[in-house]
Structure 1
Amino acid sequence: MAAKTTTLNVYLLAGVKTTTGSFNACKERLNEQLRLEGIEPTIHVLYPYGDSSRNWVRQVFEVKTDLSNRMKAGRIGGRNVWQQIKDTVSSERTLLIGHSGGGAAAYQAAKMLEEDGVLRDFRIVQVGSPRTPIHPRLQKKVSYFHSIDNSGKMNDPISRIGSWGGWIRAGGLIPQWNSYKYAPGYVEGIPTVGGHADYFRNTEAYMDKEAVCNLDKTIGCVRAWLKGWL
């Protein structure tokens, strides 16, 4: 008997100054690989801050509003995504993958949708994103991937923006600063070729010595983290 096909909502969220079509290769590869595993994906591409035709300074300002957990009114990218999908997203499994500022918007939108009772079974993937504090109850649902150089050191400057830190008491009376207190539950470096904008590139210029492109590395890391959930 053939295995039962399951469904999955997938949202790819762009960051600042992103051209339309930038997720085309990623969308095709995800669709192909998920179907091979018996998963029927519905994949959407969203631009929380607008595309490359919009003023980039305004987009950067809007990303900054998504880097904290203040009132909903301040989360511009998150609210834009929430508004676009709140009436159409189903209660089935949902995966949000955000690049750069799109990762911050993905988290804020998912958090609001979860609080509204709309999302239940979901995962969030942040790729090359600024650091957004993750609520403890959601940390296991969030993963974070950033580019590293040949020595394993982080080399994406956007991944250094923001903070996951918070004060803790570690067996004493004096509080100590923990830089990972509000970090995603899973953090991993990816040895990509190029820069911040290149996580989803698949052409020859973005292949390593073994002819593995950035796109395959990124999707491979994401799928490994999702194993067991998918």
Structure 2
Amino acid sequence: MAVKPSTLQVFLLAGVKTTTCSFNACKDRLEEQLRSEGIDPNIHVLFPYGDASRNLIKQVLEVKTDLSNRMRAGRIGGRQVWQQIKDTVKGERALLIGHSGGGAAAYQAAKMLAEAGIMNDFRVVQVGSPRTPIDPSMRERVSYFHSIDSWGKLNDPISRIGSWGGWIRTGRSIPRWNRFKYAPGYVEGIPTLGGHAHYFRNTAPYIDTDSVCNLDKTIGRVREWLKGWL
């Protein structure tokens, strides 16, 4: 008897000034690869801060509300995503992949859904996102990928925004600042070509000398992290 494919709700979350077609190649590649692994994905593309037609300044200000866990009344993008997916993810496995500000919204939405008991089996992937402090209880469910240059140094300026830092103290020692105290459980650099907007590009000039495009590099690293859960 044929084994029924396991289902997975997948949400691709855009950052600011993103066109409605930006995730087309990513969506197609993800669906192809997940189905090859016996997974039946239901992929949704969401715009927590609106698409490219919306005012940039307003979008940026809304992203800022998602960069801290201190403002419970804020989290504008996170609340937008929460409203859009709360009825879809009940009892379902869910994967949230957010680019740029969409990564911050993905984490905030997942945290609110988990706290409400609506979503239990999930993973969050942040790609080229600002640094959002991750609650320790969520850490192992969140990964973070950023672009690096040929020297292995971070070269996406958006990935420098925000902070994972916090003060730590051991015994009676003097408190010291740990810049990774609230970091995601997994952080990795990807040698992509181009800039912040190009993680999911699959055509020239975003193909390296080994004929590997940015999209395949990004999706490949995400899938590697998801091994054992998918």
Name the TM-score class by shorter chain. Answer: over 0.9
- Which residue type is aligned with residue 111 of structure 1? K
Aligned to 2:99: 99
Inter-partner Cα distance in structure 1 for 2:83 and 2:90 = 14
* CA displacement 1:168-211 (0-9 Å, x = unmatched): 01354200100000000000000000000000000021001101
- The residue correspondences of 1:58-77 to structure 2 (distance < 5 A) are 58-77=58-77
Verify the 8 A CA contact 2:65 2:71 in the aligned structure 1: no
Q: Which residue is equivalent to 2:25?
A: 25
Using the alignment, how far apart are the partners of 1:2 and 1:176 within structure 2? 57
- Deviation sequence 1:2-29 (CA, Å, 0-9, x none): 4441000000000010001100000000
**CA distance in structure 1 between the aligned counterparts of 2:3 and 2:157, rounded to whole angstroms:** 44
**One-letter amino acid matched to 1:68:** S
In the alignment, which residue of structure 1 is the partner of 2:5?
Answer: 5
Q: Give distance in 2, aligned partners of 1:108 and 1:118.
A: 14
Spell out structure 1 runs of 4+ moving beyond 6 A.
none
The aligned counterpart of 2:135 is 135
| TM-score, normalised by the number of residues in structure 2 | 0.98
Secondary structure class of the residue paired with 2:73:
helix
Partner of 2:90: 90
Q: How much has 1:71 moved relative to structure 2?
A: 3.6
C-alpha deviations, 1:94-149, integer Å up to 9, x for none? Answer: 00000000000000000000011100000000000000000000000000000000
Instruction: Report the identity percentage.
Output: 77
SS of equivalent residue, structure 2 residue 91: coil
Does structure 2 conserve the Cα–Cα contact (< 8 Å) formed by 1:170 and 1:176?
no
Contact in 2 for aligned 1:67/1:133 (Cα 8 Å): yes
Which residue is 1:163 aligned to? 163
Distance 1:187 1:3 in 2: 34
Q: Match for 1:74: what amino acid?
A: G
Equivalent residue of 1:201, what SS?
coil
1:147, 1:170 → 2: CA distance?
34
- Correspondence for 1:175: 175
Cα distance in 1 for residues equivalent to 2:101 and 2:189 = 18
Deviation of 1:73 (Å): 1.7
* Partner SS state of residue 204, structure 1: coil
Say yes or no: does 1:79 pair with 2:74.
no
Q: Which moved more, 1:121-130 or 1:163-172?
A: 163-172
Report if the CA contact (8 A) 1:101-1:129 is conserved.
Answer: yes
Give the structure 2 partner of residue 14 of structure 1: 14
Q: Which amino acid aligns with 2:58?
A: R
Q: Which runs of 5+ in 2 are unaligned?
A: none
Match of 2:153 in 1: 153
Does the Cα contact within 8 Å between 1:125 and 1:142 map onto a contact in 2? yes
Alpha-carbon distance in 1 for matches of 2:191, 2:14: 21
Give the conservation status (yes or no) of the 8 Å contact 1:72–1:79: no
Matches of 1:80 and 1:70 in 2, distance apart?
18
**Structure 2 CA distance for aligned equivalents of residues 229 and 111 of structure 1:** 19
Asked if structure 2 preserves the Cα contact closer than 8 Å seen for 1:193 and 1:206, the reply is yes
Distance 1:85 1:228 in 2: 25
Structure 2 partner of 1:121: 121
SS of equivalent to 1:59: helix
Which ranges of structure 1 fall in alignment gaps of 5 or more residues? none
Between the aligned partners of 2:152 and 2:75, the Cα distance in structure 1 is 33
Residue 91 of structure 1: how far off its partner (Å): 1.4
